[in-house]
Amino acid sequence: MKISIITVSYNSAKTIGETIRSVQEQVYPDIEYIICDGASKDTTLEIINNFNNLGNIRLISEPDKGIYDAMNKGLKIAEGDVIGFLNSDDFYCGPSVISKVAECFQQTGCDALYGDLYYVDHQDINKVVRIWKAGPYKKNSFKFGWMPPHPTFFVRKEVYERYGGFNTLLKSAADYELMLRFIYKNQIKISYLPIFMVKMRAGGVSNASWKNRIRANNEDKFAWKLNKVTPYFFTTWLKPIRKITQFLIK
């Protein structure tokens, strides 16, 4: 089973080295690594090329229309049976993550899987500031504000071929819309892999201010409308509220 990992980058020189290293340290033997760079103006490309001395990175570097457009570019060229995304400031928790992903797909026959995620301090990556323990999926989980951490979400390529990629009408919630479309609307077979898979640097744009949170909430509502499914009246407000519990889990 070949697994494609796609990283989208733009002016990511401060963090992308850790991201690439965590992919290249995976012990799983059949990984295709794709980096879709938006024509970075800092030293991002130089860093990528330094890591690519073995020729094991497929690199695209050209202007794009945002992160989800770049993700769609990666999807178009990915050759793996299974596809996952790793942001340019995130990294895997250890070298056996992808091996465990492959094992879960093979044992369960699932269409997609997800796991748990650590938020770490942006400067001190050894300091955990939040814990996203996703838990098993239930039929109406999305209606109660649940979603899996997107960097832990691995999906068979055939699911993307059947149901499409990221909707670029959305600027901050296209990953939420895609998972809502796949899991809730089209009821793909999904498995929960109860391990911490990814460390993500804290500081997401959608939560940077109340204005951004309201904008993100409106996009969440639009995601339900696009899919012609109806949430509860409190669904999209429960989604950010659930994040508060991530600071309480130890």
Does pTM top 0.85 for this prediction? yes
Q: Assess whether pLDDT exceeds 70 at residue 137.
A: yes
What percent of the chain clears pLDDT 90, i.e. is strictly above it? 85
Average pLDDT over residues 43-50: 97
CB atoms within 10 A of CB 90: 25
Residue-wise pLDDT for 141-178, tens only, equals 999 999 999 999 999 999 999 999 999 999 999 999 99
Residue 129: phi and psi, rounded to 5, are: -110, -20
pLDDT, the chain, mean: 93
Which residues share a beta bridge with 200? 90, 119
- Six token digits for residue 27: 């012990």
Which pLDDT score, from 0 to 100, does residue 179 have?
A: 98
**In whole angstroms, how large is the CA radius of gyration of the chain?**
17
pLDDT band, residue 248 (cuts 50/70/90)? low
CATH number of 3-247: 3.90.550.10
Which residues share a beta bridge with 4? 32, 83
Which pLDDT score, from 0 to 100, does residue 210 have?
A: 57
Residue-wise pLDDT for 168-224, tens only, equals 999 999 999 999 999 999 999 999 999 999 999 987 554 455 577 688 889 999 999
Surface-to-core class of residue 155, CB atoms within 10 Å of its CB (0-12 exposed, 13-18 middle, 19+ buried): buried
Closest residue by Cα to residue 59 from 48, 43, 68: 48
Surface-to-core class of residue 63, CB atoms within 10 Å of its CB (0-12 exposed, 13-18 middle, 19+ buried): exposed
